[in-house]
Structure 1
């Protein structure tokens, strides 16, 4: 049920010109543009009006009407997204992918949900131009009427994705129709309960679920850090992965093992020490951690073992696959603040100090240079490890506007395209994720990148096609990896 928007598959291609011609004749472009202008004017009119003189019955009716209108607009929005996706029109905005267009140019907070909804609720075309109904036709109709909310759509998508692949197609369609009908009268939480019962009815003994269904549902998601710099790890494991994890936790999360609060706690697997020794027994008696905390500490110890054992190889995108941390001279002097890793994680100063005690340090000095060669001109195309380390220290992550990809997931980008005579010199390079690296270049629909030597920041100028009526596009910089600079720019001066 997932459709890739960056490169639409053949089943979601736009119809050929002759198949589109009838639609173009019946739907005037001017009428569509004018209709959206009228909608904007109506919204302005509604915003100016007050409901102070309405009765209680009337304000309830107005609230319902507003909700229905919002849902219908959401349905129309899916059609507009499909228009942009089918034509690859997002390229005109300078976005590297459809997802980036939706996130950065439309400001949609949950991009995956919006695109999943558009893919499941929109009509598609085969390669021959034959129109196909929406994958969830009944759900699409209900949303178009304003009878259900986007939250209902999410529940229906989740339930239908969990229907075993071996279930007959007629039963699959009937289940979607039934869920869409229930959604008209139930809340999303109540609809989910109905969906769970429906799944149990379709596969009461669990015999229809096969390896294909399990593989389709496997996942592991790491959330962003919260205000306390903590992250949530959420996973749906297939049976084999679960069985292997059970073995690992039994060895590494045993009571008394890998306890960071106990300096005498044995590290590694319990098999590395004598299970009957007094050291493990005493450590287990002192261990007041919950099972969840022991599992966490076991994962921490296991990751240290992998990183220090060299199991990740010698390089990842030009950087060593190790814990690489960047701090500023001010933080070093004041012993405060947050360190930033090459993968984009923030570390409290105390953890930075503890890690630095065992680290192989690299010092980046921007006023001068070390003896490592940071200028290659046209002698080589790829950046050296020394250059990658220097780029991480300067840029921290992808320099494209609003991009949050860290340096470990990015590449060394030639600010002037290599094919156009770009040089592999440190001041002619910048950090860019793979998608934005391809989005910059000499073509009219690509971004232009330069280094502002006064500030040491990489600037990205949008393609001329993105702002055709507002004059030449202005260069932009990305401050997402430098929140300290944002605070300096927005901090109000103290009253004199």
Structure 2
């Protein structure tokens, strides 16, 4: 009898393992050529969900191995070595599995009672197959960077926001969201102050080497980055200012003399990396700066750093603000920059949406675009983090279908996402959220069926993390108060229907009709 037969419940474990073996063998022997395109998509998704659930089972087995001291009993120096020898996996893979189990596994105290996972929402999402191991790694890396001294509520809320985001986006996007989330948490007083930033700022231009190349390194302070980003957004677009392509358009992408067909062809053959395009853009920008007025405008606006801040931030002189290019600025730096900026007045209603600026033409005015930058912050498609400087003005109801160029029918979408809005089976749809929802007036996107079979409209909160944090904090505090009341024998049903694993970030607003994934950061 094998060792597994000696474990309590062995028959059930053996039954499930045998069924798993049969299922995998069956799939390996099944020809897939007969599947339709839709079926191929469905099989890929279902298989990925099963593999993610299997990773959660792996966490449980790591916990069992550690708590039973199995590695030591087998003369292994660590659980990592045990996994390497037993499974013939790499050291990096073994380390990743152990770290994942420590963060999302259910461990036990000396009395055998279950301990809540370090990342409970992440653990719940992994167990249901909603996220994968790379999502877990991205969340754990961000959580480790939360500043010391951050209160428990904010730590809990941060994990909730990240795990919810992971359910509908990629691990790379989770990292991007996390970095912005860290900036918001640090804005409460944990970030380096202005003296530290002044001390750390610097730009090192090294000596030219034998290849005539010059190394550059250093740190940009938030203000300098905010000034640089709109220039790069204008000049570093694929296909523009490519020194290796004699037919590449030069200058700026908004020039009225620009041949759009030539740009499209140049972009298609542009093999430069993003950092190479930035370099070439800097070259072009410095060249243009030698003569006045060459930079012109970008997407209908002057090339400048566009900053949005609230009246409350101005009064309190506290917190952080974002630029149209997606940069992050401490309020002190933003106020200093505002002293030198041309004032722009944006009027908003009580929902934070810009007031009506009607237009009888197809192209949005500069004033309308400024209002959209201030209110939306960037691309409005769920999961997209493109800043406002990389977006175009999108007609929610298409112009060709009679949609007016009024502010209520306009919002921002990056070029990639804008092209996704089509009438084809794989196209996205956009509409304005109705007045009876918390985020009324926001642009909701409906994904095609192969992405979301339920066709639930979703809101992008990526550029409104302050809303997510505030809403999630409110839920966390309400849940804690309800638990205290229940422990005291008060309202026993106060927490009914709302557990930690069922929390909804973003103030509990289900624009999609009640699904926790309805609002995507």
What range describes the TM-score normalised by the shorter chain of this pair? 0.3 to 0.5
- Specify the structure having the higher radius of gyration (Cα): 1
TM-score under structure 2 normalisation?
0.43
TM-score under structure 1 normalisation?
0.45
